[in-house]
Amino acid sequence: MRTLIERLARVPLGAVGLAIALCSAMAAGHVLLVRHVHDTGGQEWPQWVARLTIESYWGLLPLAFVALWARRRQRTGRLGRIGAALLAAGPVAALLIAVAAVAWGGILRRGDLPASVMSLELLFYVMMLGVLVTGIAFLLDAGVRWWGAVLIVGLLADFVMPLALSAVYAVFGILLMVAALRSGGEAVSVEPAVEPAH
């Protein structure tokens, strides 16, 4: 686990920003696609195809947020660790559902997963709580307070207006990329694996 966190912490900030922006576009595309299908009476994509393509943002977006936390894991303390653990529910749920959907619908040709399996989607609510907790942890870290503000605003805005989450996080991703470019790649330094002795 420590090795994975170290590797996530070393992902260039610009790449994390690009991932967040792309996931935001995928989330918006998913909402618009479903709306279009319902308005026109068309057919939605097979579940296993959607899970491997446009709906993969369910796992990639929280993973990008975990990569941001990994860069600041010592400064965000216990609250940050709790937030990151909750965020990890997103990629885990997305992977489990994608594998099950491929096996059930793609290989066995039995259509969409049964409701009992789709109850795994409840883990996405755990992930959303992780976004909130991680956002608060970032707010308490003077170096990245704006990260926390954007994470929280994006999450809460999604409950108020359709596509608001996508818009806020797309801007967040772009700002991270711009900040990384302006600073020569690293707008926020990566913390060492072990805190220096005092």
Do 132 and 155 touch, CB atoms closer than 8 A? yes
For the segment 110-136, the average pLDDT, to the nearest whole number, is 96
Share of the chain above pLDDT 70, in %: 93
Do 81 and 130 touch, CB atoms closer than 8 A? no
The predicted-structure confidence for 126-176, as pLDDT tens digits, reads as follows: 999 999 999 999 999 999 999 999 999 999 999 999 899 999 999 999 999
Tell whether the model's pLDDT for residue 72 goes beyond 90. yes
Please report the pLDDT score of residue 197 as a whole number.
Answer: 42
Average pLDDT, the chain: 93
Please report the pLDDT score of residue 195 as a whole number.
Answer: 45
- The CA–CA distances, whole Å, from 74 to 25, 66, 81 equal 31, 13, 9
The predicted-structure confidence for 49-59, as pLDDT tens digits, reads as follows: 999 999 999 99
Please report the pLDDT score of residue 150 as a whole number.
Answer: 98
